[in-house]
Chains A and B, each alone.
Chain A
Amino acid sequence: MARRGSLSDSGSDSGSEDSSLSDSELQEAFSRGALKPGLNVVLEERPKRRNDADGLRQCLSELKQQLAWVERLDVTSGQVVDPASQSASSKDAVDPENDFQREMSFYRQAQAAVLEALPRLRKLQIPTRRPDDYFAEMAKSDQQMQKIRQKLKSKQEAMERSERAKQLRAMRKYGKKVQTEILQRRQKEKKNMLNAVKKYQKGLSDKLDFLDEEQTSSQGNKNGSASQRIKKGPNAKRRYKNQKFGFGGKKKGSKWNTKESFNDVSSFRSKVAHNKGPGKSGKGGKKALNKRPGKRARQKMKSRAR
Chain B
Amino acid sequence: MPNPVPLYLPGDSVVHRLGAGTKLLVLLTAGVALALWRSPWQVGVALALVLFGYAVARLPLRTLLRQVVSLAWIAVPLLVIQWIFASWEIGVGVVGSFVTLVLLAGLVTLTTRTTAMIDVVVRAAGWLRRLGVDPERVGLMLALGIRSVHVVLGLAEEVREAQYARGLRASPRAFAVPLIVRSLRHADRLGEALTARGVDD
Are these two chains actual partners, yes or no? Answer: no
Interface residues of B (CB under 8 A from A): none
| A-to-B contact residues, CB < 8 Å | none
